[in-house]
Amino acid sequence: MKALGFATPSILLLSLIATPPVWAQARLAATPPMGWNSWNLFGCSVTDAVVRTAADAMASNGMGKVGYKYVNIDDCWQGHRNEKGDIESNERFPDMKALADYVHGKGLKIGIYSSPGPKTCAGYEGSYQHEEQDAERYASWGFDYLKYDWCSARSVYKSTDMPAAYKKMGDALKATKRPIVFSLCQYGHNSVWEWGASVGGNLWRTTTDIQANYNSILALGFAEQDGLERYAGPGHWNDPDMLEVGNGKLSLDENRLHMTLWCLLAAPLLAGNDLSNMKPEILAILTNREVIAVDQDPLGVQGHRLVQEGPIDIWVKKLKDDSEAIGLFNKGESATPITVDLVAAGILGTATIRDLWVHQDLGTFSRIFTAMVPRRSAMLLKVQQSR
Ligand code: GLA
């Protein structure tokens, strides 16, 4: 090779082939994946019918139109391996290919779940020593997304083996040539954000399991995410776990706070409730276009914390059109006024402010903005500096 500052076309071509296809990864999850997952509400009682019902609902209730796309089966679909070693589904899933075809027929995509260990967290068959075979199986059934959950892998691997164990499946998925979103789930151990993308991950869990209660949302959303923003971007996202919007006894304000924070975090938006049976107010929270646009902003920047003072948190997220999304959070037990210092948020001079939850322009402000925020609630603003 000549000592030139540029490569010849054939060398360029070779190096393109040899480089990990980061561009392909980015195209696959250019913005954080959106969809539904069976685990939070259905756990191990998930069936073919539950998944079809979720797909029917997503395709017809407006969720599909605002970007929800993946209908994901979590744990408990697996049966045994047949004589060739191919994984079979259990009696609750009579025909995986037919199910995938059904979901695709609704204009949606479908996801599946496994573990790098011999067993999944619920004790079903994992992919240990069958990685390529399982990846091919998922591709042949027509799956578009795999959540890969550490679980019993701890019994066969050392924790330092994690990147290699995940890469094995990442490579196997790529080898199928089918675009399959790869979701790493190992609860944020071993600083997964530092290596998740390099093993083919499009998203990686940064937390323990979410639960449908206010304290869990606060603990996962606020305490563990700030500082991870530099690892997120198109094709590779931090995942503070699936949504609990509409589950448990969360109030509407708590649900709004949950959704506001996840959107500022550029988190995957995987609803976990019963899509065929939810109150209109819950559907409205899941499908608010202006709020979702913050999560799905094409710049792909994850927001960060600007202020934490007692029950108040203020988070900011830069958007592609040069505006800032700002979340005012009141985690406390009574309504409180929250003042944001616009200069500290990077906005000099005057700015127009819009309330995204209620689709209302609030006017033009300079230096500070103050609003009353109800208890356990949040306001999501779009702040555009005047030109
Ligand atoms: C782990 C994961 C959950 C879910 C269950 C299924 O706990 O973190 O999200 O997938 O396993 O068993």
Separation of first and last alpha carbons in the chain? 51
Q: From the candidates 209, 253, 274, 355, which is the catalytic residue?
A: 209
Helix (H, G, I), strand (E, B) or coil at 21: coil
pTM of this structure: 0.93
CB 200 within 8 A of CB 170: yes
Name 365's Cβ contacts closer than 8 Å, sequence gap at least 6.
342, 350, 351, 352, 353
Q: Is the pLDDT of residue 23 over 80?
A: no
Q: What is the dihedral of CA 324, 70, 120, 203, to 10 degrees?
A: -30
Convert the pLDDT of each residue in 298-349 to its tens digit: 999 999 999 999 999 999 999 999 999 999 999 999 999 999 999 999 999 9
CB 36 within 8 A of CB 275: yes
Residue 114 phi, psi dihedral angles, 5° rounding: -155, -175
Q: From the candidates 48, 75, 144, 149, which is the catalytic residue?
A: 149
Residues of the chain with pLDDT > 70, as a percent, come to 93
Q: Which residue lies with its CA nearest to atom 5 of ligand 1?
A: 121
Predicted pLDDT of residue 27: 82
Helix (H, G, I), strand (E, B) or coil at 307: strand
Q: Is the pLDDT of residue 76 over 50?
A: yes
Ligand 1 atom at minimum distance from 185 CA: 8
Instruction: State in Å: Cα 364 to ligand 1 middle.
Output: 46
Instruction: State in Å: Cα 29 to ligand 1 middle.
Output: 22
Task: For ligand 1, say whether the CB of 295 is within 6 Å of any of its atoms.
Answer: no
Instruction: State in Å: Cα 186 to ligand 1 middle.
Output: 9
What would the mean pLDDT of 95-119 be, rounded to a whole number?
A: 98
Name 132's Cβ contacts closer than 8 Å, sequence gap at least 6.
172, 175
Predicted pLDDT of residue 16: 42
What would the mean pLDDT of 273-302 be, rounded to a whole number?
A: 98
Token pair in block for residue 186: 């190992």
Q: Is the pLDDT of residue 266 over 70?
A: yes
Task: For ligand 1, say whether the CB of 239 is within 6 Å of any of its atoms.
Answer: no
What would the mean pLDDT of 163-186 be, rounded to a whole number?
A: 98
Q: Is 149 annotated in the active site?
A: yes
Instruction: State in Å: Cα 121 to ligand 1 middle.
Output: 6
